[in-house]
């Protein structure tokens, strides 16, 4: 039976609560900032808003489940007395990972038809990657874990290849500021997605059960905050830059915003 020190139990507990707060904050931010982005790029921002809403729901469930699954002993440690459901993560990823891919593709310099074909291909590969990871995640058998890990890596490598090689020109063709932000999104996607296959294999790395569980849960939490709210903010920066470069100045039109503000600043100086 899994036994955690109070420090270990609390670390995971607080990490989960932190993620709930981060997803909620990102949700409000994306809602409030919609009008900074031109209607042409608003769908990408909408998908970003959905991603943090979905993840916020799942982290609320995960947080409650963690608290329910453990009982404090007289000695002050925490033993697992109930089921901790990894299924929430997979349900979350099945919905959010294709959306994260779609957000990025929507910003690229591709025609509309090409975009939707790319989204279908890469989104499908992403869903396949998640579905192939699940049987290994829930298995205690080392061989099964490695087989499904290997299978899930095939669509993963395909997605990385598509983003870095095949779609490279559609990123290079963006205006400077948008290009930088989209490249940063791509890097975040690569780096954070690498956390998942590593966290998945933590039980195989010879740590104690308690250490392995804490590392996995905190690893997933850090990766989810980076891959969703932070990635979403980069998307927002890219979408605003693209909107500006296409002449969009917010819903209020040309008399609005920066121009007026500058005049006021000049008049005051």
Q: Least distance from C-beta 46 to a second copy, angstroms?
A: 5
Q: Least distance from C-beta 251 to a second copy, angstroms?
A: 7
Q: Which is nearer to a second copy, 15 or 158 (CB)?
A: 15
The edge-to-edge listing of strands for the beta sheet with 70-72 is: 3-4, 78-80, 70-72
Residues 238-257 that bind a second copy (CB under 8 A): 245-248, 250-252, 255-257
- Applying CB under 8 A, the span of 27-35, 118-126, 154-162, 210-218 interacting with a second copy comes to 27-35
Residues 30-69 that bind a second copy (CB under 8 A): 31-36, 38-40, 43, 46, 49-50, 53-54, 57-58, 61
Residues 70-109 that bind a second copy (CB under 8 A): 72, 83, 85, 87-88, 90-92, 94-95, 109
Residues 166-205 that bind a second copy (CB under 8 A): 173
Q: How far apart are CA 90 and CA 27, in angstroms?
A: 21
Per rule CB under 8 A, is residue 120 in the interface with a second copy? no
CA–CA–CA angle 206, 207, 208 (5° rounding): 120
Chain contacts with a second copy (rule: CB under 8 A)? 6-7, 10, 13-14, 17-18, 20-22, 24-25, 28-29, 31-36, 38-40, 43, 46, 49-50, 53-54, 57-58, 61, 72, 83, 85, 87-88, 90-92, 94-95, 109, 111-112, 138, 173, 245-248, 250-252, 255-258, 260-261, 264-265, 268-269
């Amino acid at each position: 039976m899994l036994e955690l020190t109070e420090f270990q139990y609390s670390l995971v507990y607080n990490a989960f609560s932190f993620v709930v707060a981060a997803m909620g904050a990102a949700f409000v931010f994306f809602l409030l900032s919609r009008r900074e982005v031109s209607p042409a790029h608003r769908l990408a921002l909408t998908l970003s808003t959905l991603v943090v809403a979905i993840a916020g729901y799942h982290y609320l469930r995960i947080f409650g489940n963690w608290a329910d699954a453990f009982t404090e002993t007289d000695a002050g440690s925490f033993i697992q007395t109930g089921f901790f459901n990894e299924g929430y993560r997979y349900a979350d990823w099945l919905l959010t990972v294709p959306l994260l891919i779609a957000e990025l593709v929507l910003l690229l310099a591709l025609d509309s038809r090409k975009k939707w074909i790319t989204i279908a291909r890469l989104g499908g590969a992403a869903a396949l990657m998640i579905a192939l990871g699940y049987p290994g995640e829930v298995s205690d058998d080392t061989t099964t874990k490695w087989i499904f890990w290997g299978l899930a890596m095939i669509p993963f490598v395909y997605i990385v290849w598509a983003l870095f090689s095949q779609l490279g020109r559609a990123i290079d063709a963006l205006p400077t500021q948008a290009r930088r932000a989209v490249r940063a999104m791509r890097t975040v996607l690569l780096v954070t997605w690498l956390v998942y296959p590593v966290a998945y294999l933590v039980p195989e790395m010879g740590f104690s059960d308690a250490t392995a569980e804490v590392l996995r849960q905190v690893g997933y939490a850090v990766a989810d905050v980076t891959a969703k709210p932070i990635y979403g903010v980069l998307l927002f920066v890219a979408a605003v830059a693209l909107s500006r470069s296409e002449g969009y100045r917010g819903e209020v039109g040309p008399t609005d915003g920066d121009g007026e503000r500058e005049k006021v600043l000049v008049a005051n100086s």
